[in-house]
Amino acid sequence: MADSNRRTTSRRALYNRLRRMVLTLELPPGAALSENELAASLGVSRTPVRESLIMLAQDGLVQIFPKIGSFVSRVDPAQVADAQFLREAVELAALEDLPAELDPGVVAELRDNLEHQRGPELDLEEFFTLDEAFHQGLLRLSGHANAWTTVAAAKGHLDRARRLGLHEHASSAAFADQHTQIFEAVLSGDTDGARTAMRTHLRAVFSDIERIRAHSPQLFASDPGAVPVRRSVAVWE
């Protein structure tokens, strides 16, 4: 039983590692995936890699084509829009459900978070982590922290689009400014102002997608049913 639990844990850890490599763009949209190469680089056998790719395919983050190969799914704007719809609905509803007395501990954490967002040496992934923690903190203020699990599970394509957008900006300062605007509206009890600022902030990803797609269309799925073409190697058309 102990060995079985260890195998399950290690396979889950491998899946989580590969999922993070996809979400952080270390494995970019459209990239071909070799089970042998992944197994060698990660120091595991092919079987858990294959199982992890199947799980990622179920998440919509990998596409597996028999006799052709496996690929990181290109970012699907339709799935981005669906995840954005869910996230916006949850986060705007949470802002309407804030108590009259805000938890001072969570408020202090959010202040500290915002201060760190303006760190001069902050890299993209550090900012992304702070961004996620900020939005989770707002849900905690509303008493709906557990809703984040549902949101996070649905936003794989959205998170990749957001990271692509961050790469396009010279600085994350504008996003930190938007967070500060939302937070100040929350503290002042201006629910309408907080909702308006949040909606604008969350929907910025759509303009980022259009800008990125104009110069890098290969990162995005134009036809969800498209299949790579096998030449000497399998490639996307």
Structural domain count, the chain: 2
The per-residue pLDDT for 231 is 55
Question: What are the pLDDT digits (tens) for 34-93?
Answer: 999 999 999 999 999 999 999 999 999 999 998 899 999 999 999 999 999 999 999 999
Mean pLDDT of 184-213: 96
Find, among 63, 54, 226, 229, the residue nearest to 157 by Cα.
Answer: 63
Question: Distance of CA 178 to CAs 37, 67, 112, Å?
Answer: 41, 47, 16
* Domain coverage including residue 30: 2-74+221-235
Crossing angle between the packed helical segments 156-168 and 191-215, to the nearest 10 degrees: 80
Shared domain for 172 and 231, answered yes or no, is no
The CA distance from 61 to 73, in Å, is 5
pTM of the model: 0.88
Shared domain for 64 and 142, answered yes or no, is no
Shared domain for 134 and 191, answered yes or no, is yes
What's the CATH code of the domain at 189?
1.20.120.530
Shared domain for 184 and 116, answered yes or no, is yes
* pLDDT confidence bin for 103, thresholds 50/70/90: very high
Shared domain for 88 and 183, answered yes or no, is yes
Indicate the Cα dihedral angle 136, 131, 154, 207, nearest 10°: 140
Mean pLDDT of 202-209: 95
Shared domain for 124 and 231, answered yes or no, is no
In the block, tokens 């970019």 appear at 28
Examine the pLDDT at 10 and tell me if it is beyond 80: yes
CB 75, CB 160: distance < 8 Å: yes
Shared domain for 82 and 70, answered yes or no, is no
Question: What are the pLDDT digits (tens) for 135-158?
Answer: 999 999 999 999 999 999 999 999
In the block, tokens 């500290």 appear at 112
What's the CATH code of the domain at 47?
1.10.10.10
Shared domain for 166 and 208, answered yes or no, is yes
Question: What are the pLDDT digits (tens) for 18-31?
Answer: 999 999 999 999 99
Helix (H, G, I), strand (E, B) or coil at 212: helix
Shared domain for 148 and 40, answered yes or no, is no
CA 45 to chain CA mean position, Å: 28
Q: Which helix (H) or strand (E) holds 153?
A: helix 147-154
The per-residue pLDDT for 222 is 83
